[in-house]
């Protein structure tokens, strides 16, 4: 299991994107968090098995009905030693 970071660009702030993603990933029993970034992007960090990455990508790409995802950058966090307990929205 590894930690993945997804940086989402587009119309993803002030459109209930974080709430949509957090609820969907909680249902998928993913551990991690979602938060807005100062530059207008949204960051999702999730502890995943490699075979679960595509399902999370599909969720963050779909987003809330009012959102419009333009780009998703995915990276593996090599030094993430945080232990997550569920999935949360961070502020």
pLDDT by 10s per residue, the chain, length 91: 899 999 999 999 999 999 999 999 999 999 999 999 999 999 999 999 999 999 999 999 999 999 999 999 999 998 777 777 889 999 8
Instruction: Indicate which CATH number applies to the domain containing 31.
Output: 3.30.70.100
Q: Considering the entire predicted model, what is its pTM?
A: 0.93
- Set 18, 27, 35, 90: catalytic member: 18
- Set 36, 41, 47, 61: catalytic member: 36
- Torsion angle, CA of 47/48/54/57, rounded to 10 degrees? -10
Q: Which domain holds residue 6?
A: 2-90
18 annotated active-site: yes
Rounded CA-CA distance 78/91 in Å is 23
Q: What is residue 55's three-state secondary structure?
A: helix
What pLDDT score was predicted for residue 56? Answer: 97
47 annotated active-site: no
Q: What total number of domains does the chain contain?
A: 1
Contact assessment for residue 43 and residue 34, using Cβ atoms and an 8 Å cutoff? yes
């Amino acid at each position: 299991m590894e930690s993945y970071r997804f940086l989402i660009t587009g119309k993803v702030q002030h459109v209930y994107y974080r709430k949509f993603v957090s609820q969907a990933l909680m249902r998928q029993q993913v551990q991690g968090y979602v938060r807005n970034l100062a530059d207008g992007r949204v960051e999702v960090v999730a502890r995943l098995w490699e075979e679960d990455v595509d399902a999370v990508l599909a969720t963050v790409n779909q987003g809330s009905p009012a959102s419009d995802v333009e780009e998703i950058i995915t990276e593996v966090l090599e030094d993430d030693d945080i232990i997550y307990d569920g999935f949360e929205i961070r502020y």
